[in-house]
Structure 1
Amino acid sequence: MSQHAATFRQMHGGPEPLRLPNAWDAGSARLFESLGAPAIATTSAGVAWAMGYADGGRMPVEVAIAAAANMARVLRVPLSVDMENGYSDDASAVGETIRRLLDAGVAGINIEDGTDAPAKLAAKIEAIRAAAEKSGLDIFVNVRTDVFLAGLVEGPKRVGETLSRSAMYRAAGADGLFVPGLCDPSEIAAVVEGAGMPVNVMAWPGLASAAELGRLGVRRLSAGSGISQMLWGQAEKLAKDFLATSDSGSMSEGSMPYSQLQALFVER
């Protein structure tokens, strides 16, 4: 087992959730590490946008792997990579992709079901486990189910459907369960009680504090694409101002000094 993978597993032990500010490139990953993040996770949406692709499985797998390897290059803390659906419907192809991520030094992944049948994701998890075993390395497989986020079933049935999928994914070799859109404290408690593995939720308007989530048993809290979306919004505003007025002043307000940015990457 790699040291990063072992360390990353231990981070899911509580009592408060592991807080992950999701990065979208090597620069943002290194910045978040410098701020004290104990591990870095990625946002597939943020990575796709930064690389010039739409989110939702449209980014070529080679681009995703290269982006992950570039992040791993600058980090000294564990890296978990959001691989969407594995960028393939072929379980064996997904296993090979994860083997390449292991070679790059990745400690964990997210992989999701979306609107696919749960059995398809279970087969991919099994292929990932086989690839890791063949490599002699470990990887933390955090499985995302979109039951809540995409409203795959009616509201009263969502907890039951989530737990049904969780059992299938756990049997296939999953290590953690990510349920974006899960916000209600009673539903969080029910999922935590029945999941049988660490539960991950995503930052969401009205979501309880990290301390309260910890009391509910949540072990991981992700920022999702929120930070990258905020920065895209700021970039849009600054560019609009510059194009409209050619005013340089707005670009210096709140900016990170050049020397501070340089210092993040020298002698790594």
Structure 2
Amino acid sequence: MHDRSAILLLPNAWDAGSARLFAHRGFAAIATTSAGMAWSLGHADGERAPLAEVLAAIERITRIVDLPVTADIETGYGETPAEVAATVRAVIAAGAVGINLEDGVPGHGALRPCAIAAARVRAARAAATEAGVPIVINARVDSWLQQDAAKPAERFDDAVQRAHAYLAAGADGIYPIGLSDGATLAALVQAIDAPINVAAGPGVPDLAELARLGIARVSTATRFAAMALAAVDHAAGVLLESGRFDCLASALTYADAQGLFERT
């Protein structure tokens, strides 16, 4: 699905229900969202959801869909490459066949030095090889999330250097999260011979334009989870203000939801 012949469109699920809905809609594969999953488990994003709870949620998703699932494991839930490797083994055991791995520190802090971040990717690849599961490692490059004074050219060059190091360490694709400028994406495609992932959202070029630019993969990140919360929040506010129940009308009925989980 990452051969760059067509864009892979990945919706990010946060629980078994959202994953089953995406599968029902006909997506070819499913990703998870660390933030949406953490919120559904009662925690903030940034590796504050206990790994055991995250693994259980991933296992529920892989059980309920007959599709490839790639798991957002943030920075790998570990300070050392060995700990990242242990996380990857556990994620594979939960049924995932891909991971997102960030090069920042938990909570979207400063970037790790390139060599250290690459060592973590190398450990993830070694763990997958040992498990006999050739997972897709989508290495996230957080250069465009940093609020430092780096000039655009410096940020770009740093991202390219990191991408090459991560690919050499065993990554399959690069995820420059926070980057949506078409010209910069096109330059990145030319500079990196690997699938590039873009986060979907308002203001991001549409699929046709991203395909023209050479983007291989688009994921929805936290968008669907936040939209679901927003819809409930709006209806709850209307209910409290009006005392009327019209706001509880839904195009998806109980029977529809129930049907998503009934198996023949």
Which range, TM-score by smaller chain?
over 0.9
What is the CA distance between 1:241 and its match in structure 2?
A: 2.4
Q: Deviations over 1:164-219 (max 9, x none)?
A: 00011011110000011212222111111112210001113322111111111100
Q: Deviations over 1:65-84 (max 9, x none)?
A: 11111110101010001010
User: Partner of 1:8 in structure 2?
Assistant: none
Of the three residues 67, 70, 78, the one matched with 1:77 is: 67
Moved more, 70-79 or 14-23: 14-23
Q: 2:201–2:223: 8 Å Cα contact kept in structure 1?
A: no
Q: Deviations over 1:89-113 (max 9, x none)?
A: 1211111111111122211000101
Q: 2:58–2:95: 8 Å Cα contact kept in structure 1?
A: no
- Helix, strand or coil at the partner of 1:141: strand
User: Partner of 1:63 in structure 2?
Assistant: 53
User: Partner of 2:123 in structure 1?
Assistant: 127
User: Partner of 1:117 in structure 2?
Assistant: 113
Tell me, in whole angstroms, the C-alpha distance in 2 between the residues paired with 1:150 and 1:83: 20
How many aligned positions are there? 257
User: Partner of 2:227 in structure 1?
Assistant: 230
Of the three residues 30, 46, 51, the one matched with 2:36 is: 46
Q: Residue 138 of structure 2 aligns to which amino acid in structure 1?
A: N
Is 1:166 aligned with 2:163? yes
Q: Residue 258 of structure 2 aligns to which amino acid in structure 1?
A: Q
When normalised by structure 1's length, the TM-score is 0.91
Tell me, in whole angstroms, the C-alpha distance in 2 between the residues paired with 1:212 and 1:144: 22
Aligned Cα RMSD in Å? 1.5
What is the CA distance between 1:59 and its match in structure 2?
A: 1.4
Q: 2:97–2:133: 8 Å Cα contact kept in structure 1?
A: no
Which consecutive residues of structure 1, in runs of 5 or more, have no partner in the other structure?
Answer: 1-10
Tell me, in whole angstroms, the C-alpha distance in 1 between the residues paired with 2:115 and 2:160: 14
Residue identity (%): 40
Of the three residues 118, 133, 136, the one matched with 2:132 is: 136
Is 1:217 aligned with 2:214? yes
Is 1:265 aligned with 2:247? no
Q: 1:181–1:204: 8 Å Cα contact kept in structure 2?
A: no
Q: 1:60–1:87: 8 Å Cα contact kept in structure 2?
A: no
User: Partner of 1:149 in structure 2?
Assistant: 145
- Helix, strand or coil at the partner of 1:148: helix
Of the three residues 23, 26, 48, the one matched with 1:33 is: 23
Of the three residues 91, 107, 121, the one matched with 2:81 is: 91
Of the three residues 3, 11, 21, the one matched with 2:11 is: 21
What is the CA distance between 1:154 and its match in structure 2?
A: 2.7
Q: Residue 13 of structure 1 aligns to which amino acid in structure 2?
A: D
What is the CA distance between 1:56 and its match in structure 2?
A: 1.5
When normalised by structure 2's length, the TM-score is 0.93
Tell me, in whole angstroms, the C-alpha distance in 1 between the residues paired with 2:116 and 2:65: 33
Tell me, in whole angstroms, the C-alpha distance in 2 between the residues paired with 1:93 and 1:246: 52
Tell me, in whole angstroms, the C-alpha distance in 2 between the residues paired with 1:218 and 1:265: 34
